[in-house]
A and B are shown apart, each in its own frame.
Chain A
Amino acid sequence: FHPAAGPSEPKMAGADGDDSLYPIAVLIDELRNEDVQLRLNSIKKLSTIALALGVERTRTELLPFLTDTIYDEDEVLLALAEQLGNFTMLVGGPEYVHCLLPPLESLATVEETVVRDKAVESLRKISQEHSPVDLEVHFEPLVKRLASGDWFTSRTSACGLFSVCYPRVSSTVKAEIRQHFRTLCSDDTPMVRRAAASKLGEFAKVLELDYVKSDIIPLFTALASDEQDSVRLLAVEACVSIATLLPQEDLETLVMPTLRQAAEDKSWRVRYMVADKFSELQKAVGPEITKNDLVPAFQNLLKDCEAEVRAAAANKVKEFCENLPEDGRETIIMTHILPCVKELVSDTNQHVKSALASVIMGLSTILGKDNTIEHLLPLFLAQLKDECPEVRLNIISNLDCVNEVIGIRQLSQSLLPAIVELAEDAKWRVRLAIIEYMPLLAGQLGVEFFDEKLNSLCMAWLVDHVYAIREAATCNLMKLVEKFGAEWAQNTIVPKVLGMANDPNYLHRMTTLFCINALSEACGQEITTKHMLPVVLKMSNDQVANVRFNVAKCLQKIGPVLDNNALQTEVKPVLEKLAADQDMDVKYFAQEAISVLALA
């Protein structure tokens, strides 16, 4: 097996003289090609090579070769690391899976993080395929070697491997593993401490409870007071897992001092992490501690001096309140949380306000009708008038929660100006977002309110300058018709839509066609045949080819809604005329319509 020999000496690969192995030889040759792309292709076909070589030669020749050549481009190494994770059957099944360890071990030490992570992922995967004996004989020594490697990369990789082998080894080996993990948690390279901290929770989960208390807790405490905030914040993540593992009575002494300290950390990154994980933490520590400790901590986070932290906390307001123990929940919210929330409504930072706006409506279900009207409604109204469109949009997009509790009517007077303003916002993405909420709003506000106040907006969008808005407006009309019925459509929408067929702007004339495409089914046969079809047919004489071929497309679309008579006597002649159009696109779509509607 000499990869360099290559296809010029096909015997090398096809030692049995089988010519069918020639292409394999080409692939093997390309593992050494100067062109990265060819090497990459070849590595991606590695399973094919292995399959052709058979399990034994894969083990004895291919794998050693791969192990030796690991100093390639990171892209090739990444592909290799990934491939090897699925190689168990190709080396002869679980019995031989340990053959894959040497190349993966080398890959787990390279500099490039992506490669290393992939190698660790593959190692974790194949660790499961090791028998308990092999795990101790082959896998665990590898973990130890990595854990005591010179360069930080191997130690970082080791951190991800402890938890996969720990549950299946003997107690002596377990003790060793714990010792190695301890060492890495106090490594003097911050990269390694970060890696260890990020695996702390995962490792704690596989440890026996006694060791969680005796080993993990001191590590947790140490990492949570690391000199680098990047390490401390990872300890917060681990806190969730650790707190879940411990019995309630130990939490106060083992976890809470650290958590309290993290919530008051001098680095905003750590406080941000606490805010971001607040719901998980709340669940992990249980209702009693939540009441005594987390409520004040949460208040502080909502009042934090960094906007990032406030925004993260504001995002959690609803979830936090929802998960409060039911007895006393209302009191806690009303006396402790709501005052902070009120301040956030007029926060100086738009991200904070918009984070709050995305959850604040959820409080109404928790607090009930009276509190909502008295305390929350003024906040909703204030946010509806916010200068930042995102805040207003977030309120409007969550109207359904309020609707269930107090009905939307309470809000409608303030809603309208907000909606109108958003509907005419200079940013088309804002306009697009509000259109998407129209059907929901229409449903909640009722048809009268809609006709009176919102209908004109919906029609105005049809002539927007941005295509995406016109398209969304079309789709919106369809949903409205589904909601309010065909009769409503006939009286309010259809005349306006059809009126646009005479617009001097061909884009608006096309919008008529797009609307008809969308509406015909919802409006039903009668309206379509009586009102829409004549307009469409008339437009087949339009001087703009784009309009004409859209007529063809439109006819194809509404064809199924029409009866056969209309199809034969009205649609068919027009399509035939269009099929003879001088414009090739018009011809094409006309012919397509004819064949789809089977009018030929």
Chain B
Amino acid sequence: MRDTPLSACEKNFIIKALGDRKRLDGRQPYDYRKVKITFGADRGCCKVNLGQTQVLAQVSCEITSPRAVRPSDGVLFINVELSPMASPAFEVGRMSDLGVEINRLLERCLRESRCLDTESLCIISGEKVWQIRVDVNVMNHDGNIIDCSSIAAIAALAHFRRPDVTVDGSEVIVHPSDEKDPIPLSVHHMPICVTFSFYEQGKYLLVDPTDKEEKVMDGKMVIGMNKHREICTLQVSGEMLLMKDQVLRCSNIAVVKVTEITELIQRALENDRQARLNGKKFGFAESEPTESILTNQQEPEEIQATETQMDEDSEEEKGMNGDLKTERKSKVKILDKGVGMIGEGGASTWGVEDNEMTEELQKEAKVTQPDHKEVTHTTGTLNATNCVTLKIDLN
């Protein structure tokens, strides 16, 4: 099924906002969305949330015969599945172009950068080696699948434990986990991919584009780096022309981001390790928050409340219900059931008012109606004294 195309006015809006260095979700141009890493009960299972983009990675191992060219090296196989669950644009069956691109990128980032020590995966040279398979499933697509998948894959590899083996001549004994502790894979370094999207022939640059921003971009650049400032992979794609200094600038930005994310992965791994050690419960079931509204959950966002000036002509009150608060900060005054009012002097744009109002009202709604009634209908009127009255209909 085809994805709905982005309308021309949305495109223009996004690009125009970029000119003012503003993004749709209020981030700075070089900011990442919130990264949440959780591990499952199984070893090697990792789920990463990058904003709304969600990716699940699972690592498994089996014993196979090695490749003819490298008899003493294990095999690392990476497979990325774009399931239709992630986006209506993805289809089952033959891999689309995007799927091939992501697969190859992750392969190059993880395999050719030698982040995993494949020689330690050898059991009997030339006959039996471990084949490590990383399956990455994209569960929700809200932009920047590449970054999310790379974080998930590397975290899963670091989390995985393979069964211990003893070689007795030509006999190989695989010990199950209750006999001998499974051993971790030797991960040399953690390459993380950072995606940059370009707009207006390279004039504007964004880190971590969302789905809408991806649809509008001219082209993108993916830099895979580890925290030792080594570039593991670099790819410029899309139909655009770049200058060399842009590439260098991006790599500098990538260094900062990669260090942050590597730290986050380490912390998550450490937390999981502690939880397992202390016998506490671990896994996905424990990390999902319960007793909360599961649908339409919106995390509280920081909104810039601009300081507005006091207006002298606040005496001219026409048809206003309630007093006028002359304080600087906007405060919601509940006048009647379902009627809230914010009084502020001075000129302020609708946009700012709207945000503040909705946030205040959401807070008020939660406080005054604890049985979670939904706000179905709001009307706002702006009268002459720059005072806003809101009437909310609740059912």
The answer to whether A and B come from one shared complex is: no
Residues of B participating in the A interface, judged by any CB pair closer than 8 Å? none
